[in-house]
Amino acid sequence: MSAVGIVAAAGSGSRLGADRPKALVGLAGRPLVAWAVDTLLAGGVDEVVVVTPAAERDAFAAVLPGSVQLVDGGATRTASVRAGLLAAGAAADAVLVHDAARPLTPPEVVARVLAALAAGAPAVVPVLPVVDTTVAVDAAGTVTDAVPRGPLRRVQTPQGFDRTVLVAAYAALDDAAELTDDAAVVRADGVPVTTVAGDERAAKVTVPHDLRIAELLAAPR
């Protein structure tokens, strides 16, 4: 089974307080996007497409291998993944969509997603259990109910798909739609999504505190 990875890297670094796209922010001396690309390749992906802000393509080209294909992203994450999917072409059997903001995802997570796809799952996401008490609140912030956490999961990336399934789901999706991840895109098209074990190291870097934790985790590498 051949697989292509699409790295969503077109987001801004505003919440990190950065003066550059988030994916170009450094972690242990390397930009986040470089870590994400290496994770996909080490986990078994054959080729990688990185979706970048159009004005920053040269900056991404300077820090990534020449074998990585760069594509201009859209105004939203959904639009950017559409662009990456189009650029990936039809050669691969599977597509893995990964967030550049999850730089320390272990290659083993990638391998688990690929294995589930090879076993016949049309869509696969890595997940972790919810460990905190979770409640619902009203408009005033008053707790109205406790949410049973047993069936709840935190979803990570890379999310993997049979290529034809993901292409069909995006074709059926309204151009104006903006969903939070690609599993939501295929679920909207009636496709069941399988889960595999995620990893705490695959945490998303969103704010400065997240980056400081990632620096601590990356130090021994």
For the segment 51-104, what is each residue's pLDDT rounded down to a tens digit? Answer: 999 899 999 999 999 999 999 998 888 999 999 999 998 889 999 999 999 999
Please name the helix (run of DSSP H) or strand (run of DSSP E) that holds residue 161, with its range, or none.
strand 159-162
Residue type, 95: V
- Helices of type H across 44-143: 57-61, 77-88, 107-118
Chain Cα centroid distance, residue 37 = 11
Architecture of the domain whose range is 3-107+158-190+203-218? Alpha-Beta Complex (3.90)
State the Cα–Cα distance between residues 56 and 25, nearest whole angstrom.
Answer: 13
Q: Is the pLDDT of residue 20 over 90?
A: no
State the Cα–Cα distance between residues 182 and 199, nearest whole angstrom.
Answer: 19
Question: φ and ψ at 40, to 5 degrees?
Answer: -65, -45
Judged by average pLDDT, the poorest of 3-17, 96-110, 153-167 is: 3-17
Q: Rounded to two decimals, what is the model's pTM? A: 0.94
User: How many residues are recorded in the chain?
Assistant: 221
Report the percent of the chain where pLDDT is more than 90. Answer: 87
Please name the helix (run of DSSP H) or strand (run of DSSP E) that holds residue 63, with its range, or none.
none
With a CB cutoff of 8 Å and minimum separation 6, the contacts of 186 are 122, 123, 161, 165, 166, 169, 193
Asked if 101 and 31 touch (Cβ cutoff 8 Å), the reply is no
Q: Which residue has the tokens 């999310």?
A: 159
With a CB cutoff of 8 Å and minimum separation 6, the contacts of 97 are 5, 6, 8, 81, 84, 157, 158, 159, 160, 161, 182
Asked if 99 and 36 touch (Cβ cutoff 8 Å), the reply is yes
